Homo-oligomer: A and B are copies of this chain.
């Protein structure tokens, strides 16, 4: 699907774009939303989900970005790795923290496969 420019948006999509701009305090709207704008109902759902989930709560916003990036690396989504990599840096992620995150992702990817390949049974103590 082609990326929609501002003048091609439906009224419903434009309303979401307005909220993205207001919330993020920038006029820039990235390509993800411009592709999703073909389905204004889904655009609104995804944006409100992101806004409600990624802000401060029991976990801080930077920790949430790291979780998000870890999933994106596991799912091999270049767009998501790059866009949320930029978001994490904007929230203060250092190079050293980024590399440590990658080392944890790499370790988990390795041990996940060992546990699956060796069909290790879950210890009783971990079941409750």
Asked if A12 is at the interface of the complex by the 8 Å CB criterion, the answer is no
Tell me how far the C-beta of A33 lies from the nearest C-beta in chain B, rounded to whole angstroms: 9
CB within 8 A of A74: which of B30, B75, B95? B75
Is B114 a contact of A46 with CB atoms below 8 Å?
A: yes
Asked if A102 is at the interface of the complex by the 8 Å CB criterion, the answer is yes
With a cutoff of 8 Å between Cβ atoms, the chain B residues found around residue A64 in the complex are: 100, 104
Is A36 a contact of B66 with CB atoms below 8 Å?
A: no
Is B38 a contact of A86 with CB atoms below 8 Å?
A: no
With a cutoff of 8 Å between Cβ atoms, the chain B residues found around residue A118 in the complex are: 1, 35-36, 102
Is A111 a contact of B42 with CB atoms below 8 Å?
A: no
Which residues of A in the span 65-86 have a Cβ within 8 Å of any Cβ on B?
A: 66-83, 85-86
Oligomer: number of copies? 6
Tell me how far the C-beta of A47 lies from the nearest C-beta in chain B, rounded to whole angstroms: 10
Distance of A97 Cα from B59 Cα, bound (Å): 6
Q: Beyond A58-B100, A71-B105, A104-B64, is A112–B42 a contact (Cβ under 8 Å)?
A: no
Q: Beyond A1-B99, A31-B120, A36-B118, is A105–B67 a contact (Cβ under 8 Å)?
A: yes
Is A58 a contact of B97 with CB atoms below 8 Å?
A: yes
Is A50 a contact of B111 with CB atoms below 8 Å?
A: yes
CB within 8 A of A28: which of B46, B48, B78, B125? B125
